[in-house]
Amino acid sequence: MSKFFVVFKREYAQVVKKKSFLVGIFLTPALMAAFVMLPAFLARQKASETEHLAVIDQSGSGIGAAFAKALERYFIDDEETVPYYAVDRIIELDRADSSGRAAVEDSLRLLINDKELKYFLVVGEDASGGEADLYLVTNSDNFRSISWFEQRLSDLLSARRLEKSNVNLSIDSVLSLTQPIDLTIQDAKGESIPFMVKYFSALVFVGIMFGMMIGYGQLVMRSVIEEKNSRIMEVLISSVSPFQLMLGKIIGLGAATLTQVAIWFALGAVMFVMRSAVSVDPSIDRIVFDPVIIVFFILFLVSGYLLFSTLFALVGSIVNTEKEAQNFVAPITILMVLPFLLGIAVVQEPNSTLAVALSLFPFTAPTMMMMRVVFIAPTVAEHSLFSGIAAEATLSFLIVVAAVAGMIWLTSRIFRVGILMYGKRPTLPEIIKWVKY
Partner 1 sequence: MFLKLDSICKTYDDKVAVDNLSLEVPQGVLYGIIGPNGAGKTTTIRMIMDITAPDSGKVLIDGKRLDRHFRNRVGYLPEERGLYRKMTLLEIMLYMAELKGCPARNVKKNCDKWLKRMDLLEYKDKKVEELSKGMQQKLQFITTILHDPDLIILDELFSGLDPLNIELIKDILLELKRAGKTILFSTHVMEQAEKLCDHICMISRGRKVIDGSMAEVKSRFGKNSIQLEVVGDGGFVSSLAGIKKVTDFNNYLELELEQNADTDAILKSVAQRVSVRRFALVEPSLYSIFIDMAGGEPPDPGSAGEVADV
Using CB under 8 A as the criterion, which residues of the chain lie in contact with partner 1 when the complex forms?
A: 1, 3, 6-7, 10, 14, 226, 229-232, 234-241, 420
Q: Which residues pair with 75 in a beta bridge?
A: 82
| C-beta closer to partner 1: residue 166 or 238 | 238
| C-beta closer to partner 1: residue 244 or 411 | 244
Exposure string of 69-108, with b = 16+ CB inside 10 Å and e = fewer, is ebbeeeeeeeeeeeebbebebbbebeeeeeeebeebeeeb
| C-beta closer to partner 1: residue 15 or 134 | 15
Helix (H, G, I), strand (E, B) or coil at 401: helix
| C-beta closer to partner 1: residue 171 or 235 | 235
In whole angstroms, what is the distance from residue 57 CA to residue 399 CA?
66
Q: Is the dihedral of CA 17, 19, 20, 23 positive or negative?
A: positive
Q: Is the dihedral of CA 137, 141, 144, 150 positive or negative?
A: positive
| C-beta closer to partner 1: residue 198 or 416 | 416
| C-beta closer to partner 1: residue 77 or 226 | 226
Report whether 171 contacts 258 (CB < 8 A).
Answer: no
Give 3-state DSSP helix, strand, coil % of the chain, rounded to 5.
Answer: 65, 10, 25
In whole angstroms, what is the distance from residue 322 CA to residue 113 CA?
49
Closest CB 191 distance from partner 1, rounded Å:
53
Closest CB 329 distance from partner 1, rounded Å:
22
Closest CB 427 distance from partner 1, rounded Å:
13
Closest CB 226 distance from partner 1, rounded Å:
8
Q: Which one, of 178, 134, 187, lies nearest residue 159 by Cα?
A: 178
**Strand 51-57 relative to strand 85-92, pairing:** parallel
Closest CB 223 distance from partner 1, rounded Å:
10
How does DSSP classify residue 58?
A: -
Q: Which one, of 220, 69, 252, 247, lies nearest residue 153 by Cα?
A: 69
Closest CB 185 distance from partner 1, rounded Å:
54
Closest CB 385 distance from partner 1, rounded Å:
44
Q: Which one, of 317, 299, 296, lies nearest residue 307 by Cα?
A: 299
Closest CB 29 distance from partner 1, rounded Å:
27
DSSP assignment of 120-158 equals: EEEE-TTGGGTS--EEEEES---HHHHHHHHHHHHHHHH
| C-beta closer to partner 1: residue 5 or 143 | 5
Report whether 130 contacts 157 (CB < 8 A).
Answer: yes
| C-beta closer to partner 1: residue 3 or 89 | 3
CB atoms inside a 10 Å sphere around CB 21: 15
Closest CB 234 distance from partner 1, rounded Å:
4
Closest CB 411 distance from partner 1, rounded Å:
19
| C-beta closer to partner 1: residue 1 or 273 | 1
| C-beta closer to partner 1: residue 64 or 248 | 248
In whole angstroms, what is the distance from residue 47 CA to residue 145 CA?
10
